[in-house]
Amino acid sequence: MITLDCRGQKCPLPIIKLAKAMPGVAIGEIVRVLADDPAAANDIPAWCRLKGQEFVAGHGQRFDVRRVI
């Protein structure tokens, strides 16, 4: 599992960081994004839908994304 600490960053920075990390992530691997911007709760699942990735879970300030493609 890869963890991206995006706490203290306003959107779209957590999404940009997630997008830049994805090419280095193996298919099936999970990326955990730590983000305290309230917009992340909507933005990360929306990004997953747009990019064909799997939004696994979101709990508080923790969001798990599985690389699918």
Q: Which residues participate in catalysis according to the annotation? A: 11
Rounded-to-integer distance, Cα 26 and Cα 11, Å: 25
Rounded-to-integer distance, Cα 28 and Cα 8, Å: 28
Residue 35 contacts residue 14 (beta carbons within 8 Å):
yes
What would the two tokens of residue 35 be? 């983000």
